[in-house]
Amino acid sequence: MSEPDLSSRAAGGGWRLEHSYAQLPALLHVAVAPTAVRAPQVVVWNRKLAEELGLEAEALAARAEIFSGNRLPPGAAALAQAYAGHQYGHFTTLGDGRAILLGEQITPGGQRFDVQLKGAGPTPFSRRGDGRAPLGAMLREYVISEAMQALGIPTTRSLAVVATGEDVWRQNGARPGAVLTRVAASHLRVGTFEWVAARRDEAALRALVAYTAQRHYPELAGAENMPLALLEAVSERQARLMAQWMGVGFVHGVMNTDNMALSGETIDYGPCAFMEAYDPATVFSSIDRDGRYAFGNQPQIAQWNIARFAETLLTVFHPQEAPAIALANEAVGRFGERFRRHWIAGMRRKLGLFNEEPEDEALAGSLLEWMRATKADFTNTFAELETLGATKADGEFAAWQARWRARLERQPQTAEEVGRLRRAHCPAVIPRNHRVEEALVEAEAGEVRVMERLLEVLAAPYDHERAWATPEYRAPAPEGGEEYRTFCGT
């Protein structure tokens, strides 16, 4: 990416902030400063990520000041981003109502990452909101995003959570406030394009297309129809991301178009959770009463979101409406096959299959149907396929296991090679909801050791030997408890 006019390569603390997004048309951003907080205190700090970003170790007090928004780092040019979105299917104008972008950190390796403060105070887009965030919700984002990173799933990252010393009021009463520092490849979303398209500013739309392609899809340079090529590329990444979510039982919970990042990263960990007993109808979000964003609906919702993205680009696909719509429909229509290709490839790896046979999809589907009927634990079933028959007096599963073993015998790889492949793609541990909740409750009360231990375990999800030494993190939630519900934190 070319050097922007507003670049900053300040040496202090390792900060090398640039501001290429601020060079986009003015309708896409508003300058705004974080609102100072009373008593900032670092709750959790991601030392490894800080090192990857090239940030130098600073005193704890200095970190608290910077990552609460009380003091801007060298070279920062704070702004709130404008975007719209379809929320539960209904279009609305949005924007960063409680998030403030400090700039784009350039790593020692030359990579570019947004650094954003979430919960840093009101902005012009706050819509009568307080611009703040509760500590529990910010710690949830920290835990889940770092777990997703360890699972190998593209995700935004969490650099720090700083308690503000001030309460925020939500539907469940007063809660301790906090600011999360989120690191992302960018915060460009489908909703960013919806914002521009709604204003019918074709020059701004073309500038946004060029910027997004340059930042995330440089391989598209020279494409004959850049907007169409961008749509196809975003669709491909989202199809792959959905397959990865489905492969670990992740339920995002709020797949509005403003929560679909064009980089292909998972973004916005509000009412998210991990499914335990396999059921495609699984919903955790307290406000998703109709199950729009249920686990099994995620690929279809992603395609719906891609269709909304395509709609924003119609005027730049082709000067005539009918050919533009035809191009869009063809591109969007390819999403299903893209997802299926990534999903079955992921299932093959989880089953230890190195080659392809036509019946592999049915083999995986039969296992999932058995899991649904028996309410089997999704994560543990895949991790224990070799030994599960010894503990399951179930003729249906035994028959499936015999089919699976016969399939394995039709490939040249050894049992050891099959085991290595499976262990590399079947996590032994995930962020079990009751363990996450336990850690958040303790941390809100001022005790972070439970969360630190959880983070340590989640950092190595594919280390099966280590996981067997910590069975308490592999066990599903005790039966008989209340149905698990999550909240968005706004």
Secondary structure (H, E, C), 233-275: HHHHHHHHHHHHHHHHCEECCCCCHHHCECCCCECCCCCCEEC
Tokens representing 39? Answer: 């008593």
Q: For residue 403, how many other CB atoms are within 10 A of its CB?
A: 14
Establish if 24 belongs to a structural domain.
Answer: yes
Establish if 289 belongs to a structural domain.
Answer: no
Establish if 383 belongs to a structural domain.
Answer: no
**Contact (CB, 8 A) for 302 and 335:** yes
In terms of pLDDT, which residue wins out, 272 or 128? 272
Establish if 454 belongs to a structural domain.
Answer: no
pLDDT at residue number 331: 97
Report the mean per-residue pLDDT for the chain.
93
In terms of pLDDT, which residue wins out, 59 or 223? 223
**Contact (CB, 8 A) for 212 and 188:** yes
Torsional class of 83: left (φ above 0), alpha (ψ -120 to 50), beta (otherwise)? beta
**Contact (CB, 8 A) for 116 and 102:** yes
344 pLDDT tier (thresholds 50, 70, 90): very high
478 pLDDT tier (thresholds 50, 70, 90): confident
Give the whole-angstrom CA distance, residue 462 versus residue 478: 24
Average pLDDT rounded to a whole number, residues 449-473: 94
**Is the pLDDT score of 482 beyond 60?**
no
In terms of pLDDT, which residue wins out, 391 or 455? 455
- Of the CA atoms within 13 Å of residue 262, those in its CB half-sphere come to 28
**Is the pLDDT score of 7 beyond 70?**
no
**Is the pLDDT score of 65 beyond 90?**
yes
If you search the block for the tokens 């399951």, which residue do you land on? 392
Establish if 477 belongs to a structural domain.
Answer: no
pTM over 0.85: yes
Establish if 373 belongs to a structural domain.
Answer: no
4 pLDDT tier (thresholds 50, 70, 90): very low
Q: How far apart are the first and last CA of the chain?
A: 35
Angle, in degrees to the nearest 10, between helices 135-151 and 449-458: 20
Give the whole-angstrom CA distance, residue 29 versus residue 52: 28
**Is the pLDDT score of 11 beyond 50?**
no
Residues 6+ apart with CB under 8 A from 87: 94, 256, 258
- Name the residues annotated as catalytic: 258
**Residue 113 pairs with which residues in a beta bridge?**
105
Span of 319-333, 385-399, 463-477 with lowest mean pLDDT: 385-399
Q: 152: domain range?
A: 12-190
Give the whole-angstrom CA distance, residue 243 versus residue 347: 9
pLDDT at residue number 128: 84
pLDDT at residue number 480: 60
In terms of pLDDT, which residue wins out, 287 or 325? 325
Tens-digit pLDDT profile for residues 144-201: 999 999 999 999 999 999 999 999 988 778 889 999 999 999 999 999 999 999 999 9
**Residue 115 pairs with which residues in a beta bridge?**
103, 183
pLDDT at residue number 488: 58
**Is the pLDDT score of 248 beyond 50?**
yes
Establish if 182 belongs to a structural domain.
Answer: yes
Q: CA 439, 442, 444, 447 torsion: positive or negative?
A: negative
pLDDT at residue number 356: 97
Give the whole-angstrom CA distance, residue 438 versus residue 436: 5
Tens-digit pLDDT profile for residues 400-445: 999 999 999 999 999 999 999 999 999 999 999 999 999 999 999 9
pLDDT at residue number 485: 65
243 pLDDT tier (thresholds 50, 70, 90): very high
Tokens representing 430? Answer: 């995930």
pLDDT at residue number 286: 79
Span of 101-110, 222-231, 468-477 with lowest mean pLDDT: 468-477
Establish if 464 belongs to a structural domain.
Answer: no
If you search the block for the tokens 């990865």, which residue do you land on? 244
Query: Number of structural domains, the chain?
Result: 1
pLDDT at residue number 382: 97
84-87 and 29-31 strand pairing: unpaired
pLDDT at residue number 391: 59
**Is the pLDDT score of 489 beyond 60?**
no
**Is the pLDDT score of 298 beyond 70?**
yes
pLDDT at residue number 9: 40
Which is nearest to 211 in space by CA: 345, 95, 335, 104?
104
